[in-house]
Structures are given as structure tokens and as C-alpha cells.
Amino acid sequence: MKQLKIYALVVLFAALSCGKNKEVIKDENSSVSSNIDSKVDSLLSKMTLEEKIGQMNQYNGFWDVTGPTPDNGDAGKKYEHLRKGYVGSMLNVTGVENVRAVQKIAVEETRLGIPLIIGFDVIHGFKTLSPIPLAESASWDLEAIKKSAEVAALEASAAGINWTFAPMVDISRDARWGRVMEGAGEDPFLGSKIGVARIEGFQGSDLSKNNTVAACAKHWAGYGFAEAGRDYNTVDVGTSTLNNIIFPPFEAAVNANVRTFMNSFNELNGIPATGNSYLQRDILKGKWNFDGFVISDWGSMIEMVNHGFAKDKKQAAELSAIAGSDMDMESYAYVSELANLVNEGKVSEDLINDAVKRILRVKFELGLFDDPYKYCDLEREKEVTGSQQIHDAVLDMAKKSIVLLKNENNILPLKKEGQNIVVIGALANDKTSPLGSWRIGAEDGTAVSFLEGMQHYPNNKISYAKGANVITGDASFPFELNINTTDKSEFSKAVSTAKKADVVVMVLGEHAFQSGEARSRSELGLPGVQQELLEAVYAVNKNIVLVLNNGRPLTIPWADAHIPAIVEAWHLGTQSGNAIAQVLYGDYNPSGKLPMTFPRSVGQVPIYYNYKNTGRPTANEPNSVFWSHYTDVSNTPLYPFGHGLSYTTFQYANLNVTVKSGNEVEVSFNLKNTGSIKGKEVAQVYIRDLFASVTRPVKELKGFELVELEPGEAKQITVTLTEKELGFYNNSGDYVVEPGDFTVFVGGSSNTALESNFTL
Ligand code: BGC
């Protein structure tokens, strides 16, 4: 009876506050947030310690429309916790019916009726997939990237989800690390812009709408600098790299009002990120004043025992809570240990209150207290899932993500008729791999394969030969895949078919499950026997277009030296085959630029364009040995950061640099389309600070513009550099702009065309 009364009061409270809240939320931010803060305080004052800790506990989905999944031993306990109000969030519960069922328990059966926040990895789409994030980043098209996140949010929110664990804004310089597919590449400037575009796309301008979701900047911090590119490995980086390379995209995310952060599996300079007060309290919540909440990564609290940082689960909970991890994903540490820790005086209840306030604040902002079922509309789910609008957006994004790496003798675009085209490669006929590594919401086999895409051009004869498997095993069971296949039994068929072709299109590279989490590689060439297949086909027909499918930069020096056309087509999502075919036939003129350097050899890794000069950057006399180089490979990359060709050509001229008052520098130049078709170019502006109190890289991207030009058309482009672009973080973590000499570089890649100097 008593419980019923309290429940009635809560419903009344929620009902009263929701009517008001709806109006207020549209007002300007300060009054909205103070309004939310007072609701949060009022709710918090009614909560028991266990209920507060419940908000800090997230459980992985144990739910099917029928109830808790029977095959999960923990399900019974989780179910009981849910009914008691000891669960604040669930992940991997999707679909309106499932979400409604768990939400109903949280809202209608618990004492206070606090709704759950429902999280999912909507990384590059939900059921209908966009290109993998690294591919999208190759577009350098912030509007398109924002749109891609917007339609991902649309489709996911229609399936009950209101929180995505994206964007991953980890910078990485190491292509061996499988998760480079999930980020924006190696550059903090580009990475910050792309991270912000994704956050804006996911969260929209009004988080309380039912078609937007809360975003999550991850993994805080340093995860992309795992030693030797091996996932989850130790990270040990210096202050300058931390402040200038790793932190900036996260700071930009806070400034873009990202509502949540996820910490990371790795230790950073000896302290695991999940138990790291410097990262979570001093920088994120202190210096940057972040008012959202931090979730741990999957089991990262309990993994602190393996790291050798916590003695046991109890200490892991203590260290995590003190360090500022607000929500526990799948360590079961908070739910089982935190109340005792508070009662024993080891963790102050103030810290718990702070964490819970942060979590409740986001729930209020999402409007979950107004209507906990706002994402649970079956009609809307049917209408939105896989809609034409979403397919159009992912196709557009896929075309923009393709990078033309090489095109000798204009072998591309392909002629649209009268050609005998032979397509070779298992990936050409694959309807699952293009979906990418993060496709847990999608159905296998739902991508348009390359061969299907080619069918839209019926006036050529297309034949197909697999040539070699990329993987064996069932692609839906990624753990059972054998990726190093050795079977060459289909080589001879491929070679004999290729002999008669006008053009051979070879689709080679990595299956989607060869990149992504825990998919680190020690070699970066074409996996398995694909390199041998390429050489065998080349021996009988040199007219080859190589289409690469991959989640990371590959080392392909032989292909670069021999194959006339190379197209970087990544894992492009649901519309992959259509996008590649349209580019190969010239119905879409490619404009992508690499967001990550392609090495010549794996031994050059980490290789990145914004390196430091060193004391011995060049040989000071011929045949000198004592300078910073390799004896067996050049220092230069195979394809530099920012590289990408078009079916037209561009010319840069008339670079002018003017220093204005207040440390503003105006960089202007002329860009002309010198070819015969319309095309887009990403004009890039770099600087070098020639001497500084902390050494600066030889080049740093500081501006870019995506420009479309008609044949023969020229445009004057002006990029203004402000103190935000001209300074850096010193080793005390202070941002400084130092007077001195700078060089400005301009061009269509980090191998720039023009340069000039200025002095601040
Ligand atoms: C990944 C996170 C992801 C989480 C939930 C972890 O293994 O590192 O990025 O969001 O799982 O699926």
C-alpha cells in the first residue's frame, strides 16, 4: 500500500513536471538547465542509496519480447534488479516491443519509476548502414557526415534506442590497430571537426525529440595509441602528444555538448583509464567542465584487477567511483560493491550523488520523464526502418567516401558499353562484408554487393570468377573465421577468364571482420593468397582496376607499382555496390581524400604526416648514413594523408598570406578545375611553427574547404587562421600562441603544392 502511494506520487510528480518541461525545454539553455537541475535535485532527495547506485548500473540485454532470455544464467538476477530499480540503463535491447517491455518494468514496477536510458552501438547506422567511420572521414564532407549520423539516429530511435556509443574520436597513427576503422584517422584537427559533425547529427538541436539520440565520445583516453597496434594493450604517451593529439577531439566533443563519454580499456601511463582521476575528474569534469556522465567500457572496471591496479572487484568499484566513472557497463562492480563502500566510508555519498545527478540530467534532457515510451511507436518503427530517405543518405555518403588512389592513362571511368569486363575476388560477390565490422543491428546479407551494383550498367558483358576466398567459415560467426586462407584451387579459372577481358576489376582486401575491435594485424598487405592472385592475373592482363575493401590503410607497394587504377572503397555499408559502380562508371566523380597515411611497409608504422623534424631530418652529404631514416625503405608513405584523385584535375596558384591584427592570418589562393569535367576538391591548408618552446610538427592541418568547380572554373579561396589554429598546448597543458616564424602550405594533399611564410 505504502509503495503504491509513493508510486502514485512519483507519477504525479512526473506528470506535473512533464507538462511544464515540454514548454521550458524550448527556452534558452540556462533556464532549461536550471529547471532540469531542480527536478534532478528533487528526485535525488527521494532516492535510497541502493536506488542511486542502481542508476549507475547498466546491464547488457537479457530481454526478448517474451521476457528475460532463458539461456542467460544471469537473466533472473538482472530481472530482479530491474524490478527493484537497481538498473539505470540497458544496452543491446532493441526493437520497440523489447524496449517497451523493459521500460514498462522500470517505470511501472519500481518504487520511483525512473525510466531507463537505452544504449546501443549505432556506429555507422543501425539496420541500414553507412560506410565505416574511417571511410566517411575520407569524404572530408562535414555536412554529409552529419547527415549520416542524423539518419542513423532516426532509424535507431525508431527502434527504441536513445543513446549511441559513438562517435569514437580516438586518434590513431597505427594501421595495425583494428579499430582505426571506427575513428576519423590520424589528425586531431580533422578528427575534431568530424567528431563534432557526428555529435550534431546524432543529438540534433533538440535532444528531447524522438528522432535524436544522446551521443558518446569514446574512448577516454589514449586507446588509439595501444603499443604495437595490439588492441587493449598498454598506452604510454608523453604530455605533448596527449595534449595536442589525443585530447583535442574530446575537448571539441565537450564544446559540442556531447552528453556522455566512455572511458577506455587501456592503462594510460600506468593508470587504467577507468580508474584515472586525472582524466575523468581533473581534465574532463574539472578543466573542461563536462556536465554529462561517463560510462565505463565493457567490463573495464573489473579488468583493473588484471591490469594490476585493483586488488579485487570491490577495490575496482572504489577506484572507479572515486576517479569519476559514473556508470558501470558489465562489471557488476557498482551494483554489488558500492553500497558497502559508502557505508564503510570508503566512497563518499557526495560522489554517488554527483554521478546520479549527471545520469538523471541526461534522462531529463532526453525527455524520458515526459514520456518514457517516446521511442516506442510500432508504426513509426515500421515506417522509418530501411526507408528510402535512409537508403538515399547512405548511398550519398558511400559515394563521397571513395578515394581514387591511382588512375594511370585514365583507365577509369569505365566505358559504359561494348566492354568485356571480368570481375574477380570473393569480396565482389559478398553481401555481408560491405556492412562493416560494427553491424550488430543489421541483417547479414543486406548489402548491395559489387556485382549487383555493376548490373545497373547492362551494356557491358560482365563475367565473374572468385579467384580466392578471403575468409572461410560463417561470416555471422566472426570468431570462427579463418582469415589466412591458402586455397589457390580457383586461381586458374580466374586467370583464364581474365585473359579475354577488356578490363579486369579485382575486388580485394579485408573482410569486414578483419578490422574492428580485437582485429589487430601484424601484416598490412592483402590477406591470404590475394596478392598472389593479383600477380597471377596481372601476368595475363595488365588492364586491371583494383578495388580495395578494407578497414585500415594497407601496404600495397606492388599494386601501386604495377596496377594502373586503384580505388579505395573501404567497407561502404548497405549501398556499397551501387556506390562503387557509379564511381567506376564516372556517374559520380570521386573526391575522397585519405584521413590516414598509407605506409609502404608495416615497419614504418606508426607513420603520420604531422611528424617532428628530429635533429637529423636529411643526409647532409651524399651517402651519409647518420640521419633519421631506414636502410631498406624510404621515409615517405605510399599515399600521404589527404591524398585522393579525381577524374578531373585541379591547379593551385597565387597563394597570399596576410597577418591581420589580433593574431589573425588570412590565407587566400586560387583553385582551378583544369580538366574537362565537373569535380570536387578538398583544398587543404597546413602550417608549420618553425621554432617554439615545445617543438612543433613539420606540418599541421589547420583548415580545409570542399569546393565544387565546373571545367575551367576557378575560385578564390580564403581560410582565416585564428589563435585557435596558431597555438598549441605546452607541457603544462596551457594553450599558448607564441610569436615567431611560420610557414603556410596549401594543396590537394599533405604533399602540398604551394607555400609561403609569415611572422606573428
Ligand atoms: C567497445 C565499446 C562499445 C562497447 C559496447 C566495447 O567492447 O570497446 O566501444 O561501445 O563494447 O558494445
- Nearest partner of 329 among 417, 381, 416, 260, judged by Cα: 260
The answer to whether residue 98 scores a pLDDT higher than 70 is yes
Q: What angle do CA 457, 511, 646 make, to 5 degrees?
A: 50
- Sole residue written with cell 588509439: 224
Ligand 1 centroid to Cα of residue 301, in Å, is: 13
The answer to whether residue 477 scores a pLDDT higher than 50 is yes
Element (H, E) at 745: strand 741-747
Ligand 1 centroid to Cα of residue 459, in Å, is: 46
CATH superfamily of 650-759: Immunoglobulins (2.60.40.10)
Question: Probe ligand 1: pick from 121, 124, 218, 265, max atoms within 8 Å of CB?
Answer: 121
The answer to whether residue 478 scores a pLDDT higher than 80 is no
- Residue 410 is classified by DSSP as G
pLDDT of residue 71: 59
pLDDT of residue 30: 61
Task: State the average pLDDT over residues 467-486.
Answer: 73
Ligand 1 centroid to Cα of residue 262, in Å, is: 9
pLDDT of residue 291: 98
pLDDT of residue 480: 59
The answer to whether residue 72 scores a pLDDT higher than 80 is no
Count the residues in the chain.
760
Question: Probe ligand 1: pick from 163, 165, 261, 440, max atoms within 8 Å of CB?
Answer: 165
Question: Probe ligand 1: pick from 298, 302, 331, 440, max atoms within 8 Å of CB?
Answer: 298
Residue nearest to atom 5 of ligand 1 (CA): 298
Ligand 1 centroid to Cα of residue 93, in Å, is: 15
Residue nearest to atom 12 of ligand 1 (CA): 121
Q: pLDDT per residue over 29-69, tens digit each?
A: 566 777 999 999 999 999 999 999 999 999 999 887 777 77
Backbone dihedral angles phi then psi of residue 496, each to the nearest 5 degrees? -70, -35
The answer to whether residue 730 scores a pLDDT higher than 90 is yes
Q: pLDDT per residue over 197-253, tens digit each?
A: 999 999 999 999 999 999 999 999 999 999 999 999 999 999 999 999 999 999 999
The 10 Å CB-count burial string (b at 16+, else e) for 506-528 is bbbbbbbbbbbbebbbeebbbbb
What beta strand segments (E) does 191-319 contain?
216-220, 260-263, 267-268, 271-272, 293-295
Rg (CA), the chain: 27
Report the distance separating Cα 238 and Cα 232, nearest Å. 19
Active-site residue identified among 121, 170, 297, 430: 297
pLDDT of residue 5: 34
Report the distance separating Cα 340 and Cα 49, nearest Å. 10
pLDDT of residue 481: 66
pLDDT of residue 209: 98
Pairing of strands 57-60, 328-329: parallel
Ligand 1 centroid to Cα of residue 298, in Å, is: 6
Backbone dihedral angles phi then psi of residue 754, each to the nearest 5 degrees? -130, 155
Ligand 1 atom nearest to CA at 265: 8
- Which of the residue ranges 45-54, 56-65, 157-166, 475-484 would you say has the lowest mean pLDDT? 475-484
The answer to whether residue 289 scores a pLDDT higher than 50 is yes
Is pLDDT larger for residue 127 or for residue 34?
127
Mean confidence (pLDDT) of the chain: 94
Task: State the average pLDDT over residues 80-105.
Answer: 96
Is residue 410 classed exposed, middle or buried when 0-12, 13-18 and 19+ CB atoms within 10 A define those classes? exposed
Report the distance separating Cα 71 and Cα 84, nearest Å. 22
Ligand 1 atom nearest to CA at 182: 9
Where do the domains of the chain lie? Answer: 394-582, 650-759
- Residue 266 is classified by DSSP as S
pLDDT of residue 219: 98
- Residue 243 is classified by DSSP as I
Ligand 1 centroid to Cα of residue 297, in Å, is: 6
pLDDT of residue 470: 86
Task: State the average pLDDT over residues 149-167.
Answer: 98
Q: pLDDT per residue over 378-409, tens digit each?
A: 999 999 999 999 999 999 999 999 999 999 99
Cβ neighbours, 10 Å, residue 1 = 5
| Catalytic-residue membership of 71 | no
pLDDT of residue 662: 85
CB 69 within 8 A of CB 36: no
Residue nearest to atom 11 of ligand 1 (CA): 298
pLDDT of residue 25: 35
Q: Give percent above pLDDT 70 in the chain.
A: 94
Report the distance separating Cα 598 and Cα 595, nearest Å. 10
Ligand 1 atom nearest to CA at 166: 10
- Which of the residue ranges 345-349, 436-440, 693-697 would you say has the lowest mean pLDDT? 436-440
Question: For residue 368, what are the contacts with CB-CB under 8 A and spacing of at least 6?
Answer: 115, 117, 162, 374
Q: pLDDT per residue over 657-682, tens digit each?
A: 999 988 999 999 999 999 999 999 99
Q: Which CATH architecture has domain 394-582?
A: 3-Layer(aba) Sandwich (3.40)
The counts of H helices and E strands in the chain are: 23, 27
Element (H, E) at 147: helix 142-157
Report the first-to-last Cα separation within the chain, whole angstroms. 74
- pLDDT category at 12 given cuts 50, 70, 90 is very low
- pLDDT category at 17 given cuts 50, 70, 90 is very low
Report the distance separating Cα 180 and Cα 231, nearest Å. 11
User: What is the DSSP annotation of 482-500?
Assistant: B-S----TTHHHHHHHHHT
Q: pLDDT per residue over 519-563, tens digit each?
A: 999 999 999 999 999 999 999 999 999 999 999 999 999 999 999
The answer to whether residue 126 scores a pLDDT higher than 70 is yes
Residue nearest to atom 8 of ligand 1 (CA): 297
pLDDT of residue 20: 33
pLDDT of residue 67: 76
Q: Give percent above pLDDT 90 in the chain.
A: 89
Report the distance separating Cα 293 and Cα 358, nearest Å. 5
> Taking the alpha carbons of 752, 754, 758, 760 in that order, is the dihedral positive or negative?
negative
Pocket of ligand 1 (CB under 6 A): 121, 165, 218, 297-298, 517
Element (H, E) at 40: helix 29-44
Ligand 1 centroid to Cα of residue 126, in Å, is: 15
Residue nearest to atom 10 of ligand 1 (CA): 165
- pLDDT category at 476 given cuts 50, 70, 90 is low
The answer to whether residue 4 scores a pLDDT higher than 70 is no
Query: Does the pTM exceed 0.85?
Result: yes
- Nearest partner of 392 among 223, 666, 154, judged by Cα: 154
CB 217 within 8 A of CB 293: no
Report the distance separating Cα 67 and Cα 758, nearest Å. 67
Q: pLDDT per residue over 600-647, tens digit each?
A: 999 999 999 999 999 999 998 888 999 999 999 999 999 999 999 999
Residue nearest to atom 6 of ligand 1 (CA): 298
Task: State the average pLDDT over residues 301-318.
Answer: 98
